[in-house]
Structure 1
Amino acid sequence: MDDDYVIVPLPDGVIRKGFSCGIQLIDNFVKNNAAKQHKKGQVRVHAAVHVASNRLIGFVSLCLKTYEPDLSEESKELFERVQAVPTVYIAMIGVTQEFQKKGIGGDLLWYAFEKSVEIANIAGTYALTLNANDDSLCEYYQNLDFIRMSEDDETRIMYIPISKIREAIAQAGSEQPSTANSEVANSTVA
């Protein structure tokens, strides 16, 4: 099977039927809400589209979110006066089961890194944030330099400062880092 794919903003006509990453909440989002929320501007869904079949094989949805300034010591200093820390938020990320463990999740995360830096260059933002589904995902994302907001936080909200993403992009040059070869586990908002 030809595994070529492109990552693009969710196109009209992409085949979403049959998408199943194994997490019902994510699968339901793809089936029922991804296109609607994308069109309304609630999130921007970026799709990994299988070139040969025009099927959705993975996606990452991004939106903007603010947090209290106590996100980190640095964010306290930078944003205490305005009482809000601007972030890009990965609302959901998933890869259909047939295409898991092929690096697509890593590519989608790298794409989210690049888009976060683009947004930060235009409007300013402190971090890329996400909500890991479980403790194993927390550990996975910690290995990619994400920081858990609070160990007491049952929602498992994590962030990586834009400065760290910029460093990773600079270090990688035009090539993606080794995370592109590992599968980013499916994550979603709790």
Structure 2
Amino acid sequence: MGGRFGPVHKLTAADEAGDFDCGRQELNLFLQRYALVNQRANSAQTYVSCVDDAVVGYYSLCVGSVGFDEAPHRVQKGLARHRVPVMLLARLGVDQRFQRLGLGRALLKDAILRTLQAADIAGIRALLAHAKDEHARQWYLSWDFEPSPTDPFHLFLLIKDMRAAGR
């Protein structure tokens, strides 16, 4: 991940998140209060990058499914009209002091690699991100995510596209 950030690892109680501030209170609050609780309950797994012991970036993954009609045409193609299995990139945040340094890109790449590993074990058609605002939506679109026909802020990246891109 480069010399300035630590390697991405699963969140532990030793990781300090109290000063984390990505500029979005709901993302800060999730990391500080709920990420470890959700991880212990097996409802979401959170991965972090730290400088010293302080979290400077994180993302959370959980599995889910979406209705067939909520998925873009390329995600639907070749599937029966049932719910579509996805890996949900539930949250992704980078501390404001470390934004625009490539950490978000590194975290997304790590999430993609973990999603590809999971897709080799269980059925996952795509990685789904819920963009929090237009800036985040544009960022995911720059990674070739495709918008849902029912919500332009729900964005999909097909497993086959991740594999083809060597991500």
Cα deviation for residue 49 of structure 1 reads 1.9
Matching residue's letter, 1:28: L
Map 1:1-190 to 2 at 5 A.
3-50=4-51, 53-70=52-69, 71-80=71-80, 83-150=82-149, 153=151, 156-169=153-166
Could you list the structure 1 runs, at least 4 aligned residues long, displaced by more than 6 angstroms after superposition: none
| 1:98–1:120 Cα change, 3 Å | same
Question: Which moves more between the two structures, 41-50 or 136-145?
Answer: 136-145
SS in 2 for 1:128: strand
Equivalent residues of 2:147, 2:156 under 8 A apart: yes
Equivalent residues of 2:75, 2:126 under 8 A apart: no
Equivalent residues of 2:72, 2:146 under 8 A apart: no
Cα deviation for residue 77 of structure 1 reads 4.4
SS in 2 for 1:160: strand
Cα deviation for residue 153 of structure 1 reads 2.1
- The count of residues paired between Structure 1 and Structure 2 equals 164
Partner of residue 179, structure 1: none
For normalisation by structure 1, the TM-score amounts to 0.80
State the distance in 2 between where 1:31 and 1:4 align: 19
Matching residue's letter, 1:18: D
State the distance in 2 between where 1:92 and 1:167 align: 25
Identify unmatched segments of 5+ residues in structure 2: none
State the distance in 2 between where 1:77 and 1:168 align: 19
State the distance in 2 between where 1:4 and 1:95 align: 11
**Identical counterparts, % of pairs:** 25
Equivalent residues of 2:7, 2:50 under 8 A apart: yes
